[in-house]
Amino acid sequence: MTEQEIEAPRLSGWALVLGASSGFGAATALRLAKSGMNIIGIHLDRRKALPGVKALQEQIEACGSEAWFFNINASDADKRAATLQTITDKFAERGGNEQVRVLLHSLAFGSLGLYVTTDDTKPLTQKQIEMTQDVMAHSLVYWTQDLVAADLLEDGGRIFAMTSTGSTGVFPGYGAVSAAKASLEAHIRQLAYELAPKHITANAICAGAADTAALGKIPGGDTIQTRALERNPYKRLTTPEDVALTIAGLAHPCTYWMTGNVIYVDGGEGHVN
């Protein structure tokens, strides 16, 4: 059986995908829609990218699912509050019995650069490091807090956050993102602990190197891809669809006892030196 022939489990309810317009977020939004879920997509895109976002929404709707997309900065507290109010209002119009069952954090918006430079290039600033932490790590906590406060997160729900091997390793110019990934994994452990009474699980997904827009922006991204291809037992890169299918599987109620983990979704690449 090829990956394309795998039938993902049937799911229902709403998924809120932070970073829904591209890469892992977009693939997961579409996969969850194919599995029967409605999608709320948060993304930050310039006008040039909007036709692609519209096409994704149409693909989701063609699955018979709702596709509510919001082009906002996910780390802006006011925008987050306004978006959650809109979602609450829209749910109320539909009868008020709906909540979010899956929350995926798949935001890629970090400053890349060195902490210390000895030539003319500028080192990362405090603002850049804090912004990277805020978008790539802390925003997961704030969205979760606000969803819970608004009673929008379903008992038995699933939280996923995209991490990378940068959380424990070094790539040149990746320091701020590495630190954010370490924070993100800590946030996931803490949320898993605190949300257990609501039967909500939280897990980090550590994907192998994938050819997405985000990887293209990392200095030395080509080298990361080449090394991944050499090390990966399957001799290919991870695809967004590999991750999307995994999340569809993990979103199933059967995974209720699996929480607080970093789950490698990389074809075994992370274990090969």
Site for ligand NAD, rule CB under 6 A: 19-25, 42-45, 73-75, 106-109, 135-136, 162, 164, 207, 209-210, 212-215
Smaller CB separation from ligand NAD, 30 or 209: 209
Q: How many angstroms separate the CA atoms of 5 and 60, rounded?
A: 19
Instruction: Give me the least distance between CB of 11 and ligand NAD, in Å please.
Output: 21
47 by Cβ neighbours in 10 Å (0-12 / 13-18 / 19+) ranks as: exposed
Instruction: Give me the least distance between CB of 6 and ligand NAD, in Å please.
Output: 20
Smaller CB separation from ligand NAD, 14 or 109: 109
Residue least distant from ligand NAD (Cβ): 23
Q: Give the strand pairing for 100-105 and 67-71.
A: unpaired
Smaller CB separation from ligand NAD, 20 or 84: 20
* Nearest of 128, 103, 96 to residue 32 by alpha carbon: 103
Instruction: Give me the least distance between CB of 174 and ligand NAD, in Å please.
Output: 10
Chain mean position to CA 208: 14
Smaller CB separation from ligand NAD, 99 or 106: 106
Cross-strand pairs, 207: 265
Instruction: Give me the least distance between CB of 225 and ligand NAD, in Å please.
Output: 8
205 φ, ψ (degrees, to nearest 5): -110, 115
Smaller CB separation from ligand NAD, 94 or 125: 125
Q: How many angstroms separate the CA atoms of 255 and 11, rounded?
A: 13
Whether the CB-CB separation of 117 and 123 falls below 8 Å is answered with yes
Token reading at 264: 């490698």
Instruction: Give me the least distance between CB of 128 and ligand NAD, in Å please.
Output: 14
As a residue count, the chain comes to: 273
Instruction: Give me the least distance between CB of 206 and ligand NAD, in Å please.
Output: 7
Smaller CB separation from ligand NAD, 196 or 213: 213
